[in-house]
Amino acid sequence: MGGVSESYFSAYAVFLKATAPQIGLLASLPPLLASFAQILAVWIGQVTGIRRGIIVAGALVQVCALVCVASLPELFPEHAFPMLLASVVVYFVGPNLGAPLWGSLMGALIPEAVRGRFFARRTRLSSMASFSSLISAGIILQAFDTFGHTLYGFLAIFSIGMFARAVSAWHLSQIHDPPRAHKEAPAHERDGLISLRVLRENPNFLRFSTFFACMQFAVAISGPFVVVYLLRDLHYTYIELTANTAASVLVQFLVLSRWGRLGDLFGNRIIIRVTGFSIPAVPMLWVLSGDFWYLILVQAISGLLWSGYSLASSNFLFDLTPQAKRGGMMAFHNLLSSAGVFLGASFGGYLALHLPRELDLGFHVLTWTSVFYGVFLTSSALRLVIASSFLPHLQEVRNVRNMTYHGLIFRVTRFSPISGLIFDVVSRVRRSGENDDK
């Protein structure tokens, strides 16, 4: 579903003539509004003690939402974007209903000692599905666009997404849901909405959630506008857009297992630090060239770094949350993160409208061909500030083996030549930036 549907929401909005601020709103407002569904889900789960049923219901909500995504903009063409926005809000309500309870369920089922490897394998399988479906959807969309029937191409890929999610819902319904404490249990055993006392008792969790939300803010400044930049400024075809996106997914598939094993052995904090300090370099790379193959390499770099960062962040959150309070704490974490995405994408949309195309540096007038260059550089600078402010203070909570940053990078890259090349590019960019500062 993600590969054939969600990956193409922004492209669908561009097809519907949405503006850059509207696309930023599409990427940020639905996750924010839908994240409040997590509060409802945690409360229902606390009262009933049920997790699996709510997770399955959320999956079925997404099936219905995709029907709306595909049909409402066509049924109400004069209100195409508002209809799409409302449909995507409902779409994101589905996973938000299940997210905190899914985290609670997985925490109960997956032993801590193998959690990194398990989620790496799971995400690797997911990446295989995303990669193949992303390519297939791009080919379908390009074929329909070639014959002047782009709308039917979107209808076709969204229909595939509906079917895939329905199959997913059936599999979710087969997962074992161990009994858990509900409202009749003592307060300290219940998993529900968290209080200020819980946050004070878990300062590492609060510090990490604040960092994660701030980083989401910085990333969202540029993230939603990459598709707009490629389609409108570089005039990419749908198949070129698909290839660019697929490069990131493919690299994630190649390195996820390695990240998972390293997280189990050496902890997640060191991975978050290495990738967190490297991620700020990615937006800067977008402004250096618009060459197709160069941007494929940029996406490969992005896939390597984000696969480690996302996997380690997810597993670190499991480490920081006690089983009895995991659902409520994850709901708080996700709500904070969604707020960061909303604010970041809104700010990015504002910048896209108001940034000048020329910047007078005193000794030189910098002119760029796309206003999104300024958006990318702003995102990069803020990512670096946030990483420098928070990452040195994150603390590992598990007993793990010691490892240096260079040793970690060596272990990631020694079995993967493409990973070694990518880390070399990133390090060269960072060294170049340091020399420029001097």
Helix, strand or coil, per DSSP, at residue 359: strand
Question: What local confidence, expressed as pLDDT, does residue 42 receive?
Answer: 78
The domain segmentation of the chain, as residue ranges, is 6-175+196-429
The tokens for 438 are 């001097």
Residue indicated by tokens 């219940």: 190
44, 54 contact by CB (below 8 A): yes
| CA–CA dist 221, 374 (Å, integer) | 10
Question: What local confidence, expressed as pLDDT, does residue 340 receive?
Answer: 92
Helix, strand or coil, per DSSP, at residue 358: strand
pLDDT(437) > 50: no
pLDDT(365) > 90: no
| CA–CA dist 7, 136 (Å, integer) | 12
The tokens for 410 are 């060596």
**Better-predicted residue by pLDDT, 5 or 414:** 5
pLDDT(415) > 70: no
211, 386 contact by CB (below 8 A): yes
Question: What local confidence, expressed as pLDDT, does residue 213 receive?
Answer: 95
pLDDT(22) > 60: yes
CATH topology of domain 6-175+196-429: Growth Hormone; Chain: A; (1.20.1250)
Question: What local confidence, expressed as pLDDT, does residue 2 receive?
Answer: 87
376-386 per-residue burial string, b: 16 or more CB within 10 A, e: under 16: bbbbbebbbeb
pLDDT in tens, 192-224: 566 677 778 888 889 999 999 999 999 999 988
Closest-CA residue to 311 (of 125, 126, 129, 123): 123
pLDDT(3) > 50: yes
pLDDT(368) > 80: no
Question: What local confidence, expressed as pLDDT, does residue 414 receive?
Answer: 59
**What are the phi and psi torsion angles at 221 (to 5°)?**
-60, -35
The tokens for 323 are 């089983």
Question: What local confidence, expressed as pLDDT, does residue 362 receive?
Answer: 66
pLDDT winner (highest mean) among 209-218, 242-251, 321-330 = 209-218
82 to 68, 85, 341: CA distances (angstroms): 12, 5, 20
Per-residue pLDDT band for 41 (boundaries 50, 70, 90) equals confident
Per-residue pLDDT band for 417 (boundaries 50, 70, 90) equals very low
- Mean pLDDT, rounded, of the chain: 83
Closest-CA residue to 388 (of 195, 214, 153): 214
Question: What local confidence, expressed as pLDDT, does residue 7 receive?
Answer: 86
What would the mean pLDDT of 18-38 be, rounded to a whole number?
Answer: 85
